[in-house]
Amino acid sequence: MTTTASTPAASGTTGAAKTGTPGTAVTIAKANEDAGDRFLKLLMTQIQNQDPLNPMDNAQMTTQMAQINTVAGIEKLNDSMTKMVTALSKLDTSASLTGLQTALQGSLQGLATQMRQSQALQGAALVGREVWTGGDALPVRDGLARGSFDLKGPADAVTAEVLAPSGHVLQRIDLGARASGRVDFSWAAPEGASAEGLKYRISATSGAANVPADLYASDVVTAVSTTPQGLVLQLARGGSTPLERIKAFN
């Protein structure tokens, strides 16, 4: 269903870039509109015929709606670029540099606004998802703590240590030999133990040499917002976090 909606938009965009004629632009716009209508009809059919015991979740719905918005956003970007080129072609060759800069600035601001709106809708699909940021915090959910780290090289022996807020070692977890790259581990917190303020550290060696590792901390996205600097995620534990600080998504 998703492929049906996105394919006409992609081919239409390419066609506009090659021809640039008004007739082609109208045809592409009509094709994109028809594709969006088909996408919505298919989505409504899916909703009407879904299993009531296993309905489509909100994240899945938001993702598909974001895909529709992306198709429309591409068309709007093409239209804005066409208007910008047309406006520049009508400028008198003797026009001042200030006038040219004003025209460019207005067009670019419009493009930036459209991109932020599209990005926000796509980012909404991340609400409720688990993400990983840099850090050594070890949050516990439903009695289970999960950590993740990135080994910078292969290691003969890897050990994860769960630390209390005071720095006292609560548990050592032998992870054995590991290849370089992402490594995940988990720890079942003892019943009645405090789950607040836990941290972890990693010891990894290859022969007599230490192997460095980047530590990741788990968090959950609760909301998404846009700023002039880009998309910002609201995390349950970490608060406002720019998208570029997210290391991985689950």
Task: Walk along the chain (250 residues) and give the pLDDT tens digit of each residue.
Answer: 443 443 344 444 444 444 445 555 555 556 556 655 666 666 666 666 666 666 655 555 555 555 555 555 555 656 666 666 666 566 555 455 565 566 666 666 666 666 666 666 667 778 888 889 999 999 888 888 999 999 999 999 999 999 998 899 999 999 999 999 999 999 998 876 677 889 999 999 999 999 999 999 999 999 888 777 778 888 988 899 888 888 887 7
215 token code pair = 């530590």
Answer positive or negative: Cα dihedral of 119, 122, 127, 128. negative
Write down the pTM of the prediction. Answer: 0.53
Identify the residue whose tokens are 């290849």: 179
Q: Write down the pLDDT at residue 35.
A: 59
Choices 2.60.40.4070, 3.40.50.300, 2.40.50.840, 2.30.29.30: CATH for 132-219: 2.60.40.4070
Q: Write down the pLDDT at residue 224.
A: 85
Task: Say if residues 84 and 48 touch (Cβ distance below 8 Å).
Answer: no
Of 61, 74, 80, 59, the closest CA to residue 6 belongs to: 74
Answer positive or negative: Cα dihedral of 189, 192, 193, 197. positive
- In three-state form (DSSP H/G/I as H, E/B as E, the rest C), the secondary structure along 183-224 is EEEEEECCCCCCCCCCEEEEEEEECCEECCEEEEEEEEEEEE
**Residue 134 three-state SS:** strand
What residues does each domain of the chain span? 2-124, 132-219
Question: Going by C-beta distance under 8 Å and a sequence separation of 6 or more, which residues neighbour residue 70?
Answer: 6, 9, 118, 122
Of 86, 83, 88, 116, the closest CA to residue 102 belongs to: 88
